[in-house]
Amino acid sequence: MPVYRLTASSMISSFRVSGKRHLLLTGGRGTGKTTLLRALVPLLCPGAQEITTAAYPADRVEIRESVGGKIAVIGRFDPALSPGENRMRPVADGFLLLGVPALHRMAAGESEWAVLDELGYLENSCPEFRQAVEALLDAKRVLAVVRKQDTQFLTALCARQDAFVVDLDAPAPDLGCVVMASGLGRRFGGNKLMADFCGAPLIANALALAALPLLACRIVVTRSEEVEALCNAQGVPVLRHAQPYRSDTVRLGLAALLGKEPALRGCLFLPGDQPLLTQQSVEALALAAAPDAIVRLCAADGTPGSPVLFGADYFSELLHLPDGRGGNAVARAHPGSVCLVSARNDAELRDVDTREDLNQLRQLTNR
């Protein structure tokens, strides 16, 4: 399966919501850890001091300090080692003469942040270096790449309570998505979800977002024959019904997903009529998901809106909503569980109720 590439902005949004002190990126080879870190640095911690490593296959691994540009060898290739093993042997002098002092200088520096790219199995060999990394995390906020390897040091780093860890192999728990497409369009005067928006049906943006690989499964819940036909043509799971209430849409969609994926850890309820909603915002909601959390997209002033992602702890309440009530009733019943993720732009939260709304959003896209 192709690696799913997260955006830096979505990760920063979720990291800030978490309230954690450090941001650690982990994952297997080829998941884009360093590429993502390089995108994060100017947005999260511009000007921070860095320690980076560079591997030269069948030769050596070097460590480099950004201030002064000093370089030392911390690993040497050993052809006698089995190809199935890590074939670099640690070089203690590189850690002791450059790595440890560099970490101490970073810890004593003026910058709030420090950047480490990357920490791997070689570092596990040097107790002094491990201790200096721990001291750095106690003194500064740290953005780091941590190789996904089973060593005591790396495991302990990712287990820290003050660290927001993103595993790029599986960046979000198993999440479902219900596209809410059951509105009758009375104020619009017709089927708004099939209205033209920049050359595609208004619902097209929601269908594209629901298809993100970050989401394990999806279903569109609608009363519309036209929407059903569109979904069938695109191979999108769809459930057409004739029930009257918003609570019916929530219940039918969630029950259908749980019938296919009973181990879902959360479910995103995605309106079909927010054409300016972005992938970055959906990613940020997914990264902030937890079974006991209700994650909502919000405006810059903190006003909550949609989409809303409910953790699995709230599935029972969602499946038994009173007639006429939506998921907001569950969110209001658990205010302490609500986490707000800021949209990149307030326009993302705008939906279409009238033809005037549609025209205004069209104008925004043309600016």
Average pLDDT of span 23-47: 92
Q: Where are the alpha helices (DSSP H) in the chain?
A: 8-18, 33-44, 92-94, 100-108, 127-139, 152-158, 204-210, 225-234, 246-260, 279-287, 315-319, 328-333, 355-365
Instruction: Reply yes or no on whether the pLDDT at 1 is more than 60.
Output: no
| Positive/negative CA dihedral, 169, 172, 175, 178 | negative
Output the CA–CA distances (angstroms, integers) from residue 68 to 51, 63, 108, 213, 354, in the order listed.
11, 13, 16, 42, 60
Q: CA–CA separation, 194 vs 144, rounded Å?
A: 45
Q: CA–CA separation, 351 vs 363, rounded Å?
A: 14
Task: Please state whether the predicted TM-score (pTM) of the whole model is above 0.85.
Answer: no
Q: How far apart are the first and last CA of the chain?
A: 37
Instruction: Reply yes or no on whether the pLDDT at 56 is more than 70.
Output: yes
Output the CA–CA distances (angstroms, integers) from residue 271 to 36, 39, 243, 276, in the order listed.
29, 30, 18, 11
pLDDT of residue 17: 86
Reduced to 3 states (helix: H, G, I; strand: E, B; else coil), residue 267 is strand
Considering only CA atoms, which of 65, 56, 57, 3 is closest in space to residue 30?
3
Average pLDDT of span 237-256: 95
pLDDT of residue 222: 97
**Do 326 and 279 form a contact (C-beta atoms < 8 A)?**
no
Per residue in 285-309, pLDDT tens? Answer: 999 999 999 999 999 999 999 999 9
CA 336: distance to chain centroid? 22
pLDDT of residue 3: 59
Per residue in 323-344, pLDDT tens? Answer: 888 899 999 999 999 999 999 8
Considering only CA atoms, which of 106, 128, 123, 124 is closest in space to residue 115?
106
Burial of 254: CB neighbours in 10 Å, binned 0-12, 13-18, 19+: buried
Question: What element of type H or E holds 61?
Answer: strand 60-65
Q: What's the chain's average pLDDT?
A: 93
Cis peptide before 118 (omega within 30 of 0): yes
Considering only CA atoms, which of 297, 314, 313 is closest in space to residue 17?
297
Per residue in 70-85, pLDDT tens? Answer: 999 999 999 888 876 6
Domains along the chain with CATH numbers: 8-167 (3.40.50.300), 175-365 (3.90.550.10)
**Do 72 and 98 form a contact (C-beta atoms < 8 A)?**
yes
pLDDT of residue 31: 85
Check residue 19 and give left, alpha or beta (phi > 0: left; psi -120 to 50: alpha). left
Considering only CA atoms, which of 44, 38, 39 is closest in space to residue 23?
44
Which residue type is seen at 182? S
Average pLDDT of span 63-75: 94
Whole-number percent of the chain with pLDDT over 70: 98
Average pLDDT of span 84-91: 84
